[in-house]
Amino acid sequence: MSTTQIYRVTGMTCGHCVAAVEQEVGGIADVSDIAVDLASGNVTVTSSRPLTTDEITAAVDEAGFELAG
């Protein structure tokens, strides 16, 4: 059973930004799919377990951006 969560990331301005977020968030254990919408800043993450906010925050921070909210 998979879990899908949507997060909002601020500061992304280009395709390179999207790739950085995809790489870092995609590297979290148990993540099976990630979709980043540059226009809205929404990052949709599908995983085999619910992810913690700390996990997402750390990955987004490592990519050089901030989790909104």
Sign of CA dihedral 35, 36, 40, 41: positive
The percent of the chain in helix, strand and coil, each rounded to the nearest 5, is 35, 35, 35
CATH number of 3-67: 3.30.70.100
In the chain, domain spans: 3-67
What's the pLDDT at 20? 98
pLDDT tens, residue by residue, 13-48: 999 999 999 999 999 999 999 999 999 999 999 999
Contact 21, 36 (CB under 8 A): yes
CA dihedral of 22, 26, 31, 37, whole degrees rounded to 10:
0
Residue 69 has pLDDT above 90, yes or no: no
HSE (side-chain half, CA atoms, 13 Å) at 22: 12
